[in-house]
Structure 1
Amino acid sequence: MEILALDVRLDGYADPVGVLVRDNKGAVAFAYKAEYLSDPDSTPLSLSLPLTTDPYEDVVTRPFFDNLLQERDGALADIMARESLARDDIAGLLFHIGKDCAGALSVLPAGAPPTKVPGVYDQDYVPIPPDRLKAIVESLHKRRRLPEGTEDPSPLAGVQSKIALTLLPDGTLAEPNPGSGAPTTHILKVPDQDHLQDALLEAEAMHVSQALGFETAEAVVTPIADINALLVTRFDRGLDKQNRIVRIHQEDFAQALGLPASFKYERRGVEGRRFDVSGIRRILEATGDPAGEKDTFIRATLFDLLIGNADGHAKNFALLFEQGGRIRMAPRYDILPTRLDDRLTDELAYKIGSARTLNEVTIANFEGFLQAMGIDSAAARRRIRLRHTNEIASRLATHLAELNKGGMKRFADLIASNTRILLGALAVDVPDAA
């Protein structure tokens, strides 16, 4: 195998921020550029890759850069077959498709010019004609190849059918001009034929999350070709002073913990190398507001338990790296009442104490969860258990009638049932509406 060196670029910086190298045995390593380290505005690419002059070896480098690739191996099949590449040849794959990594990062052949630049609404985007948009949605709905000439400019992780697009100021959906490097602003998620209600359910879950005070990505149901799709505003985008669309650097919790995407559930990891509450605590303590972020995460955990979202895995939580080096939790996204689908497991993405499912949660398990989050005082743990659980359950209960009237009776019934189970287990009074 030949030695390969690639430039790692971060949108917003004129020069490469680091170099990714594959040796003749296939191992990869990463090092920051000295010029980048000397820049007062430099930010780490990941909590797992702090700024340092020392290079990172394969065991640390590989998980982070593997997470830049599409999560579904099928999405990589063409490039692997065409170039005779193995799935574990991270650098080889990024040589060919690294210009289209999700987020603000790109990985390019050494010396190549930047491929990601700010976008100008009236210059860098092509409105999608209605017939073409319909064909795109139908292809995603049936899990077929996208129409000829359509390339998702920002390959997205996850198993749902989705494409990254841009919403123009006049409300028209558009694609970036080929080769422009302009960012997308929205994600269009299209349910497949076995999950026709997913867009409606996710929209409701996201709206309720917002109503309860969680910072949550904007989501709106968009009917296209008689299919209810979900249009989600990207939280990793912003506007600069010239009103250009710019990318904001972010990473998911798998990257922050140095875990491959395959370890995004606690049950798939091993001791010391898994997505668990102690790892989550380490991430949150690296943010600009550790106490506030931990409190938010505890409340989010209760919210997910009550609405039946058992899929809060490591790639469904993210960090935003803001100018000046401040790190904070990203808005919530990908919130879905997965327990309404009998084909999906009820096992939680991370354990609550030793509890693997909602039905196993006890006061002792919840206390263990809070202790793992760093809540050392028994009085504080009791206060959180009673106050947060009562507050979130009571506020959710006020939405039950609205969900019933909106054709979401199954969702309302799930919330009511989960409320009775969890609050009963935690010795908290159940709201009358539940």
Structure 2
Amino acid sequence: MTDPADVAAAPHALHLWADDRKVATLGYDALNDRWSLDYDPDWMAAPSSFPLSPALPFQPLSGGYAVGSVKRFVENLLPEGRALDVTATTYRISKSNIYALITALGTETTGAFRFWRSDDVPPAVAAKPAREVTREELDQRLASLDQMPLAVWDGKVRMSIAGVQDKLMVYLDRPLNDGGRLFLVEPPLASTHILKPDPARPITPHLVVNEHFCMCLARRMNLPVAEVSIYRTPRPVLVVRRFDRALVQGAAAGAAHGNGAPSVRRLHIIDAAQASDLPESGKYERNLGNGEHVRHIREGVSFEMLFERVDQTINKAAARMTLLRWALFQFLIGNCDAHGKNFSFFVSREGLEPAPWYDLVSVVQYAGISHELAMAWGDAFLLEEVGAFNLADFAQRCGIDRKLLKREATRLAKLVVEHAPAQALAEEYVDESERAFAAQLRDFVVGQAARLVALADEATKVKAKFL
């Protein structure tokens, strides 16, 4: 806990809430860029309570939290790229003003907590019926993405989750194939799904099909992955079910009519950057870039750092296996952009637990964007340069037995060969170009499966003295 004097002295403050319970007070001194955090005693005493992250426990070591830990946690909740630009422009604040940004966007962030004015409490009842987004209106907005990002509706920015891609958070009253409708959310209602439209840019064709294929392939392989579907306006939109939200059993879904208000419980998750107490800029292993004079600096999230989070988990053996499978699956699909904010953990008082996987994309299908790996296999930062020694080096750094690595690589490769052909024929891919792209993905992952088996076998033969 921060020194209470620091909290009291902070000129600005927000309260953090988890559903209807006050969690903590966040203090901010703009002149000195000082942040403070003070947990509410009643929250700490509750058996079901939990801290924001391992770096921000209820009882920190003597001297308080590490300098910058509170700011780093908050920074990782904010959107990036164009969505951040639009937020700053809309609210007339600097993109570097983290406190102002979370004040503007903090009522519906990733995880359990809502950031609220310290002189107010979150409403228990919605002020007005939820705002429906029809298929036709969504299609019109998708047609004008170049002029107005999807996150902005009715003059308000409605995206407060990390990431660069255009997204929109919505409440879905029932499955779309059962006549479900989409609604924008206002407190106290939380979103249940994320819409990710196809950017329709020549540099990344069929991005929705790409992510849908990879996510559904993982599900066919019985890997822990978020649920996805494709919604057409008729433009393709990937619909991702939020695993940090749970519709309360028996809650009515009359959002459109303002009666029987739905109830969505927020579940707390943090990404690997937050779990590692790193800023958003640390999501890539080469956190300073790949320039000639800085490429040797690797202070961001690496596989080694990711596996170090196992010590923070409740079931360490299960967590280590999940991380190994996640890493191998990224190799199989060619996701070179699998960075530290693309893996998350549920948070409880007892510790961390790996969350379902998300943002699975075969980035190597797109020649026009960088294929440098977000996390190196050993010292290899390009997929085509990964050899048996790099896999052995990866295992050594991450504390993985190489025989286990070989066994899991062989098992996952077999499942890819079994399920990728069926996924390529999925009925969701509706025209010749989409089916051709899915076939391209099928051929790539099957080829990667054969390569992974051979490399994993050779990795077991690398002498330990060379590692």
- After TM superposition, the score normalised by the length of structure 1 is 0.86
Query: Pick from 389, 393, 417: which aligns with 2:409?
Result: 389
What secondary structure, in the 3-state scheme, does the structure 2 residue paired with 1:348 have? strand
Cα shift readout 1:346-371 (whole Å, capped 9, x = no counterpart): 22221222222222323332222222
| 1:111 equivalent in structure 2 | 119
| 1:7 equivalent in structure 2 | 14
- Name the CA distance, whole Å, in 1 between partners of 2:72 and 2:362: 29
Q: CA deviation at 1:405?
A: 4.6
Q: CA deviation at 1:84?
A: 5.6
Amino acid at match of 2:374: A
CA contact (8 A) 2:315 2:353 kept: yes
Which ranges in structure 1 are unaligned for 5 or more consecutive residues?
376-380, 430-434
1:187-206 to structure 2, matched below 5 A, reads: 187-194=194-201, 195-206=204-215
- Give yes or no for the alignment of 1:414 onto 2:419: no
Q: In the superposition, relative to structure 1, how do residues 282 and 118 fare at CA in structure 2: closer, same or farther (>3 Å)?
A: farther
- Give yes or no for the alignment of 1:223 onto 2:232: yes
Q: Cα RMSD over matched residues?
A: 2.9
Amino acid at match of 2:377: I
- Name the CA distance, whole Å, in 1 between partners of 2:211 and 2:137: 25
| 1:127 equivalent in structure 2 | 132
What secondary structure, in the 3-state scheme, does the structure 2 residue paired with 1:369 have? helix
Q: CA deviation at 1:153?
A: 3.8
Q: In the superposition, relative to structure 1, how do residues 425 and 42 fare at CA in structure 2: closer, same or farther (>3 Å)?
A: same
- After TM superposition, the score normalised by the length of structure 2 is 0.80
What secondary structure, in the 3-state scheme, does the structure 2 residue paired with 1:350 have? strand
What secondary structure, in the 3-state scheme, does the structure 1 residue paired with 2:286 have? helix
Cα shift readout 1:299-318 (whole Å, capped 9, x = no counterpart): 12111101111121111111
Q: CA deviation at 1:272?
A: 8.0
- Name the CA distance, whole Å, in 2 between partners of 1:143 and 1:214: 38
| 2:456 equivalent in structure 1 | 426
Q: In the superposition, relative to structure 1, how do residues 396 and 59 fare at CA in structure 2: closer, same or farther (>3 Å)?
A: same
| 2:311 equivalent in structure 1 | 285
- Name the CA distance, whole Å, in 2 between partners of 1:227 and 1:95: 33
Amino acid at match of 1:311: D
Greater displacement, 81-90 / 290-299? 81-90
1:152-191 to structure 2, matched below 5 A, reads: 153-169=158-174, 170-176=178-184, 179-191=186-198
| 2:369 equivalent in structure 1 | 344
What secondary structure, in the 3-state scheme, does the structure 2 residue paired with 1:88 have? coil
CA contact (8 A) 1:309 1:337 kept: yes
Which ranges in structure 2 are unaligned for 5 or more consecutive residues?
1-8, 252-262, 289-295, 427-434, 460-467
CA contact (8 A) 2:24 2:37 kept: no
- Name the CA distance, whole Å, in 1 between partners of 2:417 and 2:147: 37
Q: In the superposition, relative to structure 1, how do residues 325 and 273 fare at CA in structure 2: closer, same or farther (>3 Å)?
A: same
| 2:429 equivalent in structure 1 | none
Q: In the superposition, relative to structure 1, how do residues 362 and 99 fare at CA in structure 2: closer, same or farther (>3 Å)?
A: same
Amino acid at match of 2:29: R
- Give yes or no for the alignment of 1:49 onto 2:56: yes
- Name the CA distance, whole Å, in 2 between partners of 1:230 and 1:387: 33
What secondary structure, in the 3-state scheme, does the structure 2 residue paired with 1:37 have? helix
| 2:245 equivalent in structure 1 | 237
Amino acid at match of 2:267: I
Q: In the superposition, relative to structure 1, how do residues 366 and 110 fare at CA in structure 2: closer, same or farther (>3 Å)?
A: same
Q: In the superposition, relative to structure 1, how do residues 202 and 310 fare at CA in structure 2: closer, same or farther (>3 Å)?
A: same
- Name the CA distance, whole Å, in 2 between partners of 1:207 and 1:124: 34
- Name the CA distance, whole Å, in 2 between partners of 1:110 and 1:62: 18
Cα shift readout 1:13-32 (whole Å, capped 9, x = no counterpart): 42242323225322323232
Identity score, percent: 24
| 1:18 equivalent in structure 2 | 25
CA contact (8 A) 1:217 1:332 kept: yes
